[in-house]
Amino acid sequence: MSEIKELENVEVIYGDENIVTLEGLEHVRRRPGMYIGKLGDGSHSDDGIYVLLKEVIDNSIDEFRMGFGKVIEIKLENGTVSVRDHGRGIPLDSLVRAVSIMNTGGKFDSQAFKKSVGLNGVGTKAVNALSINFTVESFREGKGRRAVFKQGVLVSEEEIPNTKNETGTYTYFEPDLLMFPNYEYNEEFIETMLRNYSYLNTGLTIAFNGRKFISKNGLIDLLNENLTSDALYPIIHLKGDDIEIAITHVEQYGEEYYSFVNGQHTTQGGTHQSAFRESIGRTLKEFYNKNMELADIRSGIVAAIAVGIEEPVFESQTKTKLGSTNVSKDGVTVNKFVNDFVKHELDNYMHRNPDTAEILNQKILEAEKERKAIAGITKQARERAKKVSLHNKKLRDCRYHFNDTPVKDEAKNEMMQNSSIFITEGDSASGSITKSRDVNTQAVFSLRGKPLNSFGLTKRVVYENEEFNLLQAALNIEEGLEGLRYNKVIVATDADVDGMHIRLLLITFFLQFFPDLIKKGHVHILQTPLFRVRNKKETRYCYSEEERIEAIKDLGPNPEITRFKGLGEISPDEFRNFIGKDIRLEQVKLRKEDAVQELLSFYMGKNTSERQEFIIENLVVEEEVS
């Protein structure tokens, strides 16, 4: 308290010298989160280095969408990136201004760029500002020009020959290590991004380090690539002027959506996705002319929507969520535009395809039957969740939770991107994390014992089992991912057999009832050190046996070696090192070839003898290799 009183008595001087004007792109370097979200090191698909790449590619995509340039060439080498398109090229006399002066660009003119992603003249400037080396070349009208920058400051500008009379733009950048320490691009993340671009731009060829991405069937290809269960009926694919949708159902719980605006993957949805979701339910309810619940109609749905909008308004610079005030065209709102298209086209499709209509009807009836069977339980479960003091032992929430804080959209988005919840086992582990965490953005949920093996059970267990019921309430995902309160759901268990078992049980629960939580990349495993190796001068934390051996070599003879048996054994002061800016997370992923039901059946089902044989065979292989 004395420290607080002392601070209150300190006179704060505020004068002319406190008024600062940031020159050029300095604001981007001081506040990068406003422009690219979090910085990161490349270990997550939403890290800043991928936003830099996306901003450059978006410009090339916009050229293609305007009818110029059918090939985009991308090269990644030693952490540097180059993008070459064959569009119209940046006007030569404006080349430097276009990539270095904020709020400068050709996309303010909707005639030159219709339905473009980049509209506010920021994207490429942010890439320039956050790169140690940035080069842009433009070719048009038989001429060429090159501009070279360092950290957003112009180094040189010169005319270059264009003997082949080419057109287009070449951009090269190297992220600045001061902003992105120890960054490394993950090609898998880049390939996912490029596939999405190809699905949304049929006729476009994207070449990346010798691989080509081309889509002939648009959103049909996207759904087929992401389905991890068989579609119950052929994918419904409908296209119109500035809108394309694809819909099917599978045998899984929840709803799964992929939404795009002007080629931008809106991972957090927004106006167009909400309108799409609602209009599907209402259209099918009217088609069947029955008193169906919309939740039953959408249960197990996997769908995608892509719309083209002039001058879209996103909720943040990273463009992951479409705002609610957009007008599509001719004075029609996005809501009405999407609803009118779905109502007319989907209704017509259902009338023309009675086999699909019947299959879907049976799926809806099954969902209705299960919902009614647990109706009483769900109501009681919700009441129990409300009564339990989540802020006591089960959930220690963020201090400034983004859903509960009146902040501006940019700050809100940044808090959402950084928010996480650790799911821990037992009081000791949750206690260590709770004392070490960033209370602003990191929450902790404490499990009591091992979760139930939910494989083969119906959704009834989500409400009957206290742990699952409270976890669902803490995440706020009962009605879908739009209410998800944390960007990262982190499973934090001990690095032993019991800890691994708890991980598998939690992943099984998510795969069974909330598969889109994993498909959208929200679920992670916390990597914690197995060993601490130290001498009087240095301490090393080792996450594997190989790292331990290397540390012993580096630190000399007879260092002190500690084997951490559980998270509860790590002191809060040490734990702070493992869940801060250097946190190591392993994202739980699903691929097309991962048939979820078969996977869960083998590893979590009752085929004990078959699984035992598999384990024995693999243990023998491990021994032979070692």
Residue listed under structure tokens 């110029």? 68
Q: What is the pLDDT of residue 249?
A: 97
Between 7 and 395, whose confidence is greater? Answer: 395
Instruction: Please give the mean pLDDT across all residues of the chain.
Output: 84
Average pLDDT over residues 404-409: 50
User: CA 140: distance to chain centroid?
Assistant: 37
* CATH code of residue 81: 3.30.565.10
Residues 271, 324: contact at Cβ < 8 Å? yes
Q: What is the pLDDT of residues 589-620, one digit of tens each?
A: 877 666 667 777 777 777 667 767 777 776 64
The values of phi and psi at residue 13, to 5°, are -90, 125
Query: How many other C-beta atoms lie within 10 A of the C-beta of residue 266?
Result: 25
pLDDT of 307 above 50? yes
- Stretch (H or E) spanning 526: strand 523-527
**Calpha distance 57→194 (Å, rounded):** 9
574 in the same domain as 543: no
Note the pLDDT of residue 36. 83
Whole-Å CA distances, 246 to 35, 158, 237, 301, 404: 32, 48, 5, 11, 34
37-41, 254-258, 318-322, 543-547: which range is least confident on average?
A: 318-322
Residue 60's nearest CA partner among 81, 78, 40 is: 81
CA atoms within 13 A on the CB side of 433: 33
pLDDT range class, residue 625, cuts 50, 70, 90: very low
Q: What is the predicted pLDDT for the residue at 141?
A: 87
**Do 322 and 239 have their domain in common?**
yes
Same domain, 522 and 400: yes
Residue 119 confidence (pLDDT) above 50: no
- What's the pLDDT band for 45 if we cut at 50, 70, 90? confident
* Residues 324 and 355 grouped into a single domain: yes
- In angstroms, the Cα distances linking 139 to 93, 128, 156, 433 are 12, 19, 17, 55
What average pLDDT does this structure show over 12-20?
48
What tens digit of pLDDT does each residue of 374-388 get? 888 888 888 877 776
* pLDDT, position 326: 66
Quick: pLDDT tens for 423-479. 998 777 788 888 889 988 899 999 888 889 888 888 888 888 888 999 998 999 988
Environment class of 526 (CB within 10 Å of its CB; exposed 0-12, middle 13-18, buried 19+): buried
The 10 Å CB-count burial string (b at 16+, else e) for 418-442 is: bbbbbbbbbeebbbbbbebbeeebb
Within a domain: residue 619? no
Is 550 a member of any domain?
yes
pLDDT band at residue 165 using 50, 70 and 90 as cut-offs: confident
Q: Judge if 462 and 551 occupy the same domain.
A: no
Mean pLDDT, residues 256-282: 90
pTM value surpassing 0.75: yes
- Which residues make Cβ contacts (< 8 Å) with residue 526, sequence separation at least 6? 422, 490, 491, 492, 493, 578, 579, 583, 584, 585
Number of domains making up the chain: 4
Torsion of CA 57, 63, 69, 75, to 10 degrees: -10
pLDDT greater at residue 317 or residue 326: 326
Q: What pLDDT does 34 receive?
A: 79
Is the per-residue pLDDT at 17 higher than 60?
no
Domain co-membership, 485 together with 387: yes
CB atoms within 10 A of CB 338: 26
pLDDT(500) > 90: no
- Whether residue 109 is found in the same domain as residue 209: yes
241: domain CATH number is: 3.30.230.10
Write the Ramachandran bin of 30: left for phi over 0, alpha for psi from -120 to 50, otherwise beta: alpha
- Banded model confidence at residue 220, pLDDT cuts 50, 70, 90: very high
- Same domain? 539 vs 487: no
Same domain, 542 and 490: no
- Say if CB 165 and CB 142 are below 8 A apart: yes
Q: Stretch 402-418: mean pLDDT, rounded? A: 59
- Same-domain pairing of 326 and 430: no
Looking at residue 143, its pLDDT comes to: 93
Same domain, yes or no, for 106 and 244? Answer: no
Q: 63-118, pLDDT tens digit by residue?
A: 998 899 999 999 999 999 999 999 999 999 989 988 988 755 544 344 433 455 54
Instruction: With respect to residue 484, please indicate whether it lies within any of the assigned structural domains.
Output: yes
Q: Are residues 139 and 273 in the same domain?
A: no
- What is the DSSP code (8-state) at residue 295? H
Q: What is the span of the domain harbouring residue 78?
A: 26-213
What average pLDDT does the segment 483-510 reach?
Answer: 89
| pLDDT score of 624 | 39
